């Protein structure tokens, strides 16, 4: 686990553009494979991945036997992918750069999955009207996580010293964050859905709308991405193409129907339907990530000391946008 230090002040925010999901509807259904192929994919129970649990039957019809393996954290799925246990996995936006920096070159980025505005979650009764209100507060974070990097980059752009508040490292899943807030151990959270909406709905927390941290120039709003092993991209390419097509088709369907998206979110997470409906409202399905963005993150992470070296010059060789292009009939 990465230890946060005052070196965060050294990050230089770089200007990047956010790219929307390529325009156009998903293309025609591909033909079934001549022989069935098993595809093992790691995932997490987070709302922006809702399509992944709805595509197994369609893939079966196309000759792909989808085996889903659940992970609590992006980092665990990344580790399993690098170990050869998975063909593909949903990981954090910076996990391609992290993998390459660790010397693991058998990886290729496929596509992003979604975005959302991100706000510090405040404890009821605590004032968080502006970034200056962070001063002296206890803020729960997941050190080295995707949301942490979004938060840290925003602080630098806002000119807020990282040591002006007390960063409280929380280990494990998002429920641990909410428990700490509810007990009063911390004043605010930097976390992810549905653990952002739950405090607000249960009445012990709120979205601090003045402390939005998903629009920094250095990082952006992407929530995650799918990454595959290069081995799978080569030996199971046809199966991966059908996975991407089925995923984007279902993503398109859920984007058009908030009700279906909320239902899928509830099914994926096991949460109450009312919480799923609330949490799904702020998530926009579809990638905003790009190779240029990942390069900026790679450079920023290296400057922070979060990864061992700057691998921004390796990103292009390990990103394959042709899977999405083919799914969109381009």
Helix (H/G/I), strand (E/B), else coil: 245: helix
What pLDDT, on a 0 to 100 scale, did the predictor assign at position 308? 84
pLDDT of the residue at 297:
81
**The pLDDT of residue 228:** 98
- Please tell me the predicted confidence (pLDDT) of residue 293: 86
- pLDDT tens, 238-256? 999 999 999 999 999 999 9
Instruction: Answer whether residue 12 shows pLDDT above 80.
Output: no
- Per-position DSSP letters for 69-90, written without gaps between them: EE-SSHHHHHHHHHTTS-SEEE
Residue pLDDT, tens place only, 299-327: 877 876 777 899 999 999 999 999 999 99
> Is the pLDDT confidence value at 14 over 60?
no
Give the residue with greater pLDDT, 6 vs 295: 295
- Specify the pTM: 0.83
Q: How far is CA 264 from the centre of its chain?
A: 18
Q: What is the rounded average pLDDT of the residues 278-287?
A: 90
Read off the pLDDT of residues 43-53 as tens digits, 9 standing for 90 and up.
999 899 999 99
Residue 172 has pLDDT above 60, yes or no: yes
Give residue 250's pLDDT: 97
Q: Decide whether 12-115+222-327 matches 119-212 in CATH topology.
A: yes
Average pLDDT, the chain: 88
User: Per-residue confidence at 24, pLDDT binned at 50, 70, 90?
Assistant: low
If you compute the radius of gyration of the chain from its CA atoms, what whole number of angstroms results?
19
Structure tokens, 229: 């092993």
Class of domain 12-115+222-327: alpha beta
CB atoms within 10 A of CB 212: 16
Q: CB atoms < 10 A from the CB of 135, how many?
A: 10
Bridge-based pairing of strands 88-91 and 37-43 is parallel
- What proportion of the chain, given as a percentage, has pLDDT over 90? 65
Task: Specify the pLDDT at position 6.
Answer: 29
Q: Which residue has the tokens 């390459």?
A: 100
Q: How confident is the model at residue 13 (pLDDT cuts 50, 70, 90)?
A: very low
Residue 235 has pLDDT above 50, yes or no: yes
Q: What is the CATH number of domain 119-212?
A: 3.40.190.10
Q: Domains of the chain: which residue ranges?
A: 12-115+222-327, 119-212
Instruction: Tell whether the model's pLDDT for residue 20 goes beyond 70.
Output: no
Structure tokens at 200: 């607000």
pLDDT at 90: 97
């Amino acid at each position: 686990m990465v230890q946060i230090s005052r070196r965060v002040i050294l990050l230089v925010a770089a200007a990047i553009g956010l790219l929307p999901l390529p325009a156009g509807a998903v293309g025609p259904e591909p033909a079934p494979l001549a022989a069935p192929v098993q595809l093992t994919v790691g995932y997490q129970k987070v709302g922006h991945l809702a399509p992944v649990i709805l595509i197994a039957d369609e893939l079966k019809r196309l000759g792909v036997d989808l085996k889903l393996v659940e992970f609590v954290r992006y980092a665990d799925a990344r580790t399993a992918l690098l170990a050869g246990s998975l063909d593909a996995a949903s990981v954090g936006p910076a996990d391609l750069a992290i993998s390459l920096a660790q010397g693991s070159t058998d990886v290729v980025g496929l596509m992003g999955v979604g975005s959302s505005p991100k706000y510090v979650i405040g404890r009821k009764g605590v004032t968080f009207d502006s970034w200056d209100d962070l001063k002296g507060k206890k803020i729960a974070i997941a050190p080295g996580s995707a949301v942490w990097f979004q938060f840290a980059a925003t602080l630098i752009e806002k000119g807020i010293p990282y040591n002006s508040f007390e960063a409280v490292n929380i280990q494990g899943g998002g429920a641990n964050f909410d428990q700490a807030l509810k007990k009063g151990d911390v004043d605010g959270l930097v976390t992810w859905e549905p653990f952002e909406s739950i405090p607000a709905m249960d009445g012990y927390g709120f979205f601090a709308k003045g402390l939005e941290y998903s629009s920094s120039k250095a990082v952006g709003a992407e929530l995650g991405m799918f990454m595959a092993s290069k081995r799978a991209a080569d030996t199971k390419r046809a199966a991966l193409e059908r996975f991407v097509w089925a995923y984007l088709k279902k993503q398109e369907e859920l984007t058009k129907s908030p009700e279906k998206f909320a239902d899928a979110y509830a099914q994926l997470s096991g949460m109450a339907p009312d919480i799923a409906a609330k949490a799904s409202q702020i998530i926009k399905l579809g990638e905003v990530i790009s190779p240029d963005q990942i390069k900026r993150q790679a450079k920023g992470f290296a400057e922070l000391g979060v990864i061992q070296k700057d691998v921004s010059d390796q990103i292009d060789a390990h990103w394959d946008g042709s899977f999405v292009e083919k799914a969109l009939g381009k």
